[in-house]
Each structure stands twice: as C-alpha cells, then as structure tokens.
Amino acid sequence: MHRLTSAVIQSESKLRALLGEPLAVVKQKIATRLNPLTRQFIERSPFLCLATSDVSGACDVSPRGDPRGFVRILDEVTLLVPERPGNRLADSLRNIIANPHVGLLFVIPGVGDTFRVNGRATLVTDQTLLGPCAVEGKVPKLGILVDVLEAYTQCSKALLRSELWNPERFVSRDVLPTNGQIHEALCEGFDGKKYDAERAERYARREGFY
C-alpha cells in the first residue's frame, strides 16, 4: 500500500485486467539485434537517456549527448557509448559495475519515434575501441560497451502529447531557477551568482566538454 492511497495495483494480473494485452504487431517489433533499418535511429541520434540500477534496485537515468551518431555500432548486437567528463558522481558507472542491466532511449531532434535498446553493459578502457570516438581531438578514457538484448522503436504518442518539438511550447531558461540559486537554497552561505557566472564562462570555453 501507499501512504496516500489504497487504490494500488500489486500484481500483473490486475494490471492486465486494467490495460489489456499488447497487440501481436507490438510484440513482433521487439528484436534481439539491430538491422539496416533500425540502426539508422542510432546513427542519426545525438542524444540518449541511459537507465541503470544498483543491486538493490535503486534507479538512475542520465543523459548522454554528442554529435549525431556518437554511439558506435560495432556490430548488430554490440554498441559502444563513449563516456565524456561529467560531475564525477559516476552514478550510472557505479551502477553498471554492480548491475550490468541497462536501458537506452535514443532521441532524434524533430522526430516523434524514439528507439529503445535494453542490454548488458561493460565498462571498457580499450583505446583501440575508443579511438574512433574522439571529439575535438580528445579520446574518451572510458566507454560503455552494450550487448544488445532487445531493440525496438517506441511509438511517438508521448512526444506528440507533450509537443516536445513544438517551438511555440519552448520554455525560456530565464523563467526557471539557476543551478546557483538551487545550491543557495540547499547550502547556507553558498554564492550562487558567482557559481553561475563561473559555470557560464567554463561552458563558453567548452572547458570539460571532452
């Protein structure tokens, strides 16, 4: 039960009674490998969301982005995701060490359909594999090798409902609190304005991007 309601579903049978079964055509689209058609979604994508969890089931989703096609397709069942410099919390990476099961959602700007890959991940430092992932002359120190278990397109209903690619729905960053302001709310004495200014300068120099 949940603390706010007793109207909860705790079995798949009750879930199916509510939702029904998926159509045969939906089940048929789930493949165990890429093909010349589906690989195009990866080759054209500049952005993905990476889902991981630790051994206890605690989950994390984090973004990965680079010039389109940044994820290397090594063969029809193997992908290589380059790991770029980040905040060093390494939530996804620590999770992969503990639990190799991952989910990837590839997004293409302006396109409603997304592409999902579920698989098993391995952290690698093989420079022969990582060399072709260089951007701005810098080779990543680390990569995520993904053995594909499931690969399939995700329908566009969520992106259509949200109007994600509709420019009229775009939100100005100025209407939201800055990272510095959020830090100030969490940490007494933190100088949010200084943090924001220094961060903007680093990003303008593309410092730490690669």
- Residue 62's domain is classified under what CATH number? 2.30.110.10
- Measured distance CA(74)–CA(76) in Å, rounded: 7
Tokens of 88: 């060093």
pTM recorded for the entire structure: 0.95
- Tell me, yes or no, whether 80 and 56 share the same domain: yes
Instruction: Identify whether 53 is part of a domain.
Output: yes
| 34 is a domain residue | yes
Is position 57 within any domain?
Answer: yes
Same domain, 36 and 111: yes
Q: Are residues 55 and 122 in the same domain?
A: yes
Q: Are residues 199 and 127 in the same domain?
A: no
Q: Tell me whether residue 7 is in a domain.
A: no
Residue 184 lies in a domain: yes
Do 63 and 156 lie in one domain? The reply is yes
Domain co-membership, 58 together with 106: yes
Q: Tell me if 97 is assigned to some domain.
A: yes
Residue numbers of the domain that contains 199: 171-204
| Residue 36 confidence (pLDDT) | 97
How high is the mean pLDDT in each 10-residue block of the chain (210 residues)? 93 96 94 98 98 97 97 98 96 98 98 98 98 96 98 97 98 97 97 97 96
The CB density around residue 100, as the number of other CB atoms within 10 Å, is 15
User: What's the total number of domains in the chain?
Assistant: 2
What is the maximum alpha-carbon separation in the chain? 59
Question: What pLDDT is stored for residue 147 in this prediction?
Answer: 98
Looking at residue 164, its pLDDT comes to: 97
pLDDT of residue 145: 98
Does 3 reside within a domain?
no
- DSSP per residue over 23-70, as a string? PHHHHHT-BSS--TTTHHHHHT-SEEEEEEE-TT--EEEEEEE-STT-
- The answer to whether residue 36 sits within a structural domain is yes
